[in-house]
């Protein structure tokens, strides 16, 4: 009787070679778990559809494998950045707005020369101790600014008084003694003075 069926016992070990197996014959359930090693895979055999969700972990990524185009917009949050990682050249112009600056963070060293203009100062911001010695010159004073109480005692000397400025009513009674009069200065003597 002719043999029509070959069972496992009739097959010698290693008798089934690649040429004996028809294309698309080996199904998943015929492959023992853990049998497929890396060298059994052809280049580019594993595509995105072969990867389970969340299966690619950090240690599976080669150094510098994640390029800018691999990162979706708005993905990198603050906690993903190491301290002191953002340098000036990483900021676009105008990126640092007022609310991004912590209070008391703008120090003198951060201001360029002549950066603080009059309109940047609040009213009454410039106090006496903020002014350098001799900073207030004549052209800085508005007309009629200096009142009597602003003058120190004995500050008005002769050369500060213009000619013909002192009139009679500016002289206190019994102030002028003989030595203060120029020779020939008295040309009119009233009856009471004779």
Confidence of residue 190 (pLDDT cuts 50, 70, 90): low
% of the chain beyond a pLDDT of 70 = 95
- The dihedral region occupied by 170, where left means phi > 0, alpha psi between -120 and 50, and beta the remainder, is alpha
CA distance 22 to 10: 20
**If you count DSSP H runs as helices and E runs as strands, how many of each does the chain have, helices first?**
0, 0
pLDDT of residue 1: 60
pLDDT one-digit tens code per residue, 50-89: 899 999 999 999 999 999 999 999 998 888 888 888 888 9
Cα distances (angstroms) measured from residue 103 to each of 90, 99, 107? 23, 9, 10
User: Taking all residues of the chain, what is their mean pLDDT, rounded to a whole number?
Assistant: 88
CA 73 to chain centre: 23
Model confidence at 194: pLDDT above 50: no
pTM value is: 0.42
- Per-position DSSP letters for 108-172, written without gaps between them: GGGSPTT---GGGSPTT---GGGSPTT---GGGSPTT---GGGSPTT---GGGSPTT---GGGSP
Mean pLDDT over 172-176 rounds to: 83
Structure-block tokens of residue 170 = 């500016």
Structure-block tokens of residue 188 = 């009119």
How many Cβ atoms are within 10 Å of 180's Cβ, its own excluded?
9
CA distance 128 to 139: 18
Domain range annotation of the chain: 101-129
Structure-block tokens of residue 110 = 């951060």
């Amino acid at each position: 009787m002719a043999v029509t069926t070959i069972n496992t016992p009739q097959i010698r070990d290693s008798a089934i070679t690649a040429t004996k197996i028809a294309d698309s014959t080996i199904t998943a359930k015929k492959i023992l778990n853990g049998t497929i090693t890396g060298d059994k895979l052809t280049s580019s055999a594993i595509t995105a559809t072969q990867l389970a969700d969340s299966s690619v972990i950090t240690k599976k990524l080669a150094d510098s494998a994640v390029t800018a185009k691999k990162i979706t917009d708005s993905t990198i949050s603050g906690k993903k950045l190491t301290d002191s990682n953002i340098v000036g050249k990483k900021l676009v112009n105008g990126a640092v707005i007022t609310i991004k600056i912590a209070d008391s963070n703008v120090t003198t060293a951060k201001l360029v020369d002549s950066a603080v203009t009059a309109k940047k100062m609040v009213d009454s911001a410039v106090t006496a101790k903020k002014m350098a010695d001799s900073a207030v010159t004549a052209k800085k004073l508005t007309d009629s600014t200096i009142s009597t109480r602003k003058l120190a005692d004995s500050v008005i000397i002769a050369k500060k008084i213009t000619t013909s400025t002192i009139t009679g009513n500016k002289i206190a009674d019994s102030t002028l003694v003989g030595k203060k009069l120029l020779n020939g200065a008295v040309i009119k003597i009233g009856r009471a003075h004779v």
